[in-house]
């Protein structure tokens, strides 16, 4: 199955996020595992992203999640690295490490290997930290292929942020 990225839609959502964060005087930081920096890369495609973005982490190894994103070794041991609990800790940890009001954590199994019982290829967990509030989600994208799972994950992040930031900030913006 071929998965096509909708770059225009991601760019429109990224621009909206930059506008909201700029208006609030907030910054954003990402801790990415399976997406390996792809979410941050889409944000910096927006020319004014430097107003709201200063640092992120690609925390592919468990040790990197602990060291840079503040994930608890106990949580990894108890819940597994692909879990909403780890994704939330990644989001909170990267926000704190980078003095950001918004943090995003992404951990999943892009494939073709890495699946375990109960955690198939295409399962991605997301953690969001927005101005002290945490939210999480797990998406089952299926075995679309490695790149398609990564792209679908980034599309989900931008869709989630574009819908939640206006609600949390009380600001009215449209794509």
Do 12 and 175 meet the contact criterion of CB atoms below 8 Å apart?
Answer: yes
Region class of 136: left (phi > 0), else alpha (psi between -120 and 50), else beta: beta
Dihedral pair phi/psi, residue 71, rounded to 5°? -75, 140
Query: pLDDT tier at 5 (50, 70, 90 boundaries)?
Result: low
Return the CATH number at 90: 3.90.950.20
Do 51 and 77 meet the contact criterion of CB atoms below 8 Å apart?
Answer: no
Which domain covers residue 121, as residue numbers? 7-168
Asked if the structure places residue 2 within a domain, the reply is: no
Dihedral sign from CA coordinates of 10, 12, 16, 22: positive
Asked if the structure places residue 174 within a domain, the reply is: no
Percent of the chain with pLDDT over 70: 95
Cα gap 66→52, rounded to integer Å = 25
Query: pLDDT tier at 167 (50, 70, 90 boundaries)?
Result: confident
Over residues 78-93, mean pLDDT: 98
- The token pair at 99 is 């003095």
Per-residue model confidence (pLDDT) at position 118:
93
Asked if the structure places residue 82 within a domain, the reply is: yes
Please state the domain count of the chain.
Answer: 1
* pLDDT above 60: residue 1: no
Per-residue model confidence (pLDDT) at position 4:
58
Reported as a single tens digit per residue, the pLDDT across 18-60 is 999 999 999 999 999 999 999 999 999 999 999 999 999 999 9
Per-residue model confidence (pLDDT) at position 3:
56
Asked if the structure places residue 86 within a domain, the reply is: yes
Asked if the structure places residue 173 within a domain, the reply is: no
Asked if the structure places residue 175 within a domain, the reply is: no
Do 111 and 148 meet the contact criterion of CB atoms below 8 Å apart?
Answer: no
Q: Average pLDDT of the chain?
A: 93
Asked if the structure places residue 103 within a domain, the reply is: yes
């Amino acid at each position: 199955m071929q998965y096509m990225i909708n770059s225009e839609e991601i760019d429109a959502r990224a621009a909206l996020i930059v506008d909201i964060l700029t208006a609030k005087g907030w910054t954003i930081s990402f801790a990415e595992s399976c997406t390996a920096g792809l979410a941050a890369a889409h944000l910096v495609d927006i020319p004014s992203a430097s107003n709201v973005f200063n640092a992120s982490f690609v925390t592919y190894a468990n040790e990197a999640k602990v060291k840079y994103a503040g994930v608890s070794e106990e949580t990894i041991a108890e819940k597994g690295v692909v879990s909403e609990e780890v994704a939330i800790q990644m989001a909170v940890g990267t926000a704190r490490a980078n003095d950001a009001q918004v943090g995003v954590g992404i951990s999943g199994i892009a494939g073709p290997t890495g699946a375990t019982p109960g955690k198939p290829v295409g399962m991605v967990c997301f953690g969001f930290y927005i101005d002290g509030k945490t939210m999480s989600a797990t998406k089952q994208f299926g075995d679309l292929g490695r790149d398609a799972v990564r792209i679908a994950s980034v599309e989900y992040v931008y869709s989630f942020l574009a819908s939640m930031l206006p609600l949390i900030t009380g600001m009215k913006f449209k794509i």
